[in-house]
Amino acid sequence: MTPPVPPVASPAPAAQTAAAPVCPAPAPTPAPAACAPCVCDKPAPPPPRPQWQRGDWSALPGWGADEHGAAWGAFVASCALLRRQAEWRGVCEAAERSGAAGARAFVETRLQPWRRVDADGSPPAGLITGYYEPLLTGSRTRRAPFVHPVYGVPDDLLVIDLGDLRPELKGQRLRGRLDGRRVVPYFTRAELEAGRGALPGRELLYVDDPIDLFFLMIQGSGRVRLDTGQTVRLNYADQNGHPYRSIGRLLIDQGELRAEAASMQGIKAWARANPARLAALLNANPSFVFFRETGMGDGADLPGPLGAQGLPLTAGRSLAVDPAFVPLGSPVWLATTWPNTNRPLQRLMVAQDTGGAIRGANRGDFFWGFGDDAGREAGRMRQAGEIWLLWPADAGAPPP
C-alpha cells in the first residue's frame, strides 16, 4: 500500500488526521479458459432406403412350381380397389375378364417383378412370420370365468392423419389424447389395465383367458364362441399408438425361455405355468388393440377376417406387409420356407394386410387361416425370406 501523506502544519494546534489510503488498481480479470469441445451423441442417420431393381421371371425362386390360380380370387378382390389407381386400371379390367386357369400367363404378360435392394445390390434381410384367426370362448355378460373384456375404440382416442397437414406424410398417423389443450400419448397397456382411459361402456364382450386375448390382439382378428352358442367375428379397429414389444424376446432375454421355444405355443405354456407373473409380462408390451364386430364368425357371412384393405383374407394367399415399402393390394411373390424347416415355401400372394410389428422392405406376415392347425403353423413361423413386388409392366418403376 502507498504510505500516508504527512500532516499539514497550521498556526493553531490541531489534531493530526491521516490521509485516506489509496487502493491499488484491480488486477485484470484473466480470460476464461477455452471450453473443451462438446462431445454430443448425435442420432445415427437412418439407413439408406432400399431401391427397386427390375427382375426377370426366371429369377423368382420356384416360380414355375406354384399353383398361381389359387391366388387369383384374392387378386381380383383387391382389384376392386386397385382399379382406382391409374397404374392398375387396365390390368384390373383385364383380370376381371380372365380366369384362374390362365393366372400364370396373365401375370407374366401384364406384370413385371421388382425387388428391393441395398446399395451393394443385395436384398435387405427378410423376416417372415405367420398369423391366423383364433377361436376364443366368451360371453356378452361379465361373469366367471368370462372376466377379461374385449374393448371397442374409446371415445378419447385421437387419430391424427399427418397427410392432412403435409402431403409427403400421407398414410402416417399419430394416436394420442387431449390433456387440456395439448395432445399427449394415449395410455399404455399397463395404464389401461389400471383403469385409465375412456374404456367403461366400450366392452364388446368378455373372454375367459387373458393370454388368448393378448394373442388375439397380435393376430388382429378372431372368432369368439359365446356361451349362447353363437359365434361372432372380431376385427382390428384401432390401436393405442404405442409400439409393439415382443414378450417372446423378453422371456428369452430374462432366461425364461430358449429361443427355439419362444413360439406362441411356448409362450402360452409359460403363461399357464406362471399365472402370478403373467400381468407383468403382458404389460411389458405397451401396445393395446381395440376391436369391432364384423358379423357372425361361422364362415357363412365372410370367407375370412377383414384385412387392412377391408377385404376378406385368403388363407395361404394373403400377406401382411409394410405399406411404406410394398403398395397395399399388389400381388407379390414370396420366397421363404415352411415353419421350422428348410423346405421352400414359394408362392404368389396378395399384399392385403398390415400389422404393427410388420416393418421393413422384406418383412411379411403369412396368413394361415382359421383354427388350431393354422395356429400351429403361424405360432412356429419365423423364417428368412424375400418379397418380390409384381407391378404393372407398362407403368415403369414402382413408387420409391
d(CA 381, CA 384): 10
The answer to whether the peptide bond before residue 154 is cis (omega within 30 degrees of 0) is: no
User: Which helix (H) or strand (E) element contains residue 353?
Assistant: strand 344-353
Torsion sign, CA atoms 300, 304, 310, 314: negative
Crossing angle of the two packed helices 264-273 and 210-219, in degrees rounded to 10 = 160
Residues 128, 384 contacting (CB under 8 angstroms): yes
Residues 61, 342 contacting (CB under 8 angstroms): no
Residues 270, 257 contacting (CB under 8 angstroms): yes
Nearest one of 154, 151, 134, 156 to 212, comparing CA atoms:
134
In sequence order, which residues have a C-beta less than 8 Å from that of residue 385 and are 6 or more positions away? 126, 127, 128, 334, 335, 336, 337, 362, 364
Sheet of 135-139: strand order equals 148-151, 203-207, 135-139, 221-226, 231-239, 289-296
Q: How far is CA 96 from CA 73, 102, 242, 348, in A?
A: 10, 12, 40, 18
Q: What is the pLDDT of residue 298?
A: 56
Helices and strands, counts by H and E, the chain: 9, 18
Q: Nine-digit cell at 154?
A: 374409446
Q: What is the pLDDT of residue 9?
A: 37
3-state secondary structure of 383: strand
The answer to whether the peptide bond before residue 26 is cis (omega within 30 degrees of 0) is: no
DSSP, res 313:
-
Neighbours of 196 (CB within 10 A): 14
d(CA 295, CA 300): 10
Q: Nine-digit cell at 120?
A: 451393394
HSE-up (13 A, CA, CB side) for residue 336: 29
HSE-up (13 A, CA, CB side) for residue 53: 18
Residues 161, 173 contacting (CB under 8 angstroms): yes
Residues 152, 292 contacting (CB under 8 angstroms): yes
In sequence order, which residues have a C-beta less than 8 Å from that of residue 92 and are 6 or more positions away? 76, 79, 82, 83
HSE-up (13 A, CA, CB side) for residue 269: 10
pTM above 0.85, yes or no: no
**Series of mean pLDDT values for 10-residue runs along the chain (400 residues):** 39 40 50 51 71 96 97 97 96 95 97 96 94 96 97 95 77 88 95 94 96 94 94 94 93 93 92 95 96 72 86 97 95 97 97 91 96 93 97 95
Q: Nine-digit cell at 377?
A: 403353423
Residues 384, 377 contacting (CB under 8 angstroms): no
Residues 288, 189 contacting (CB under 8 angstroms): yes
Residues 319, 350 contacting (CB under 8 angstroms): yes
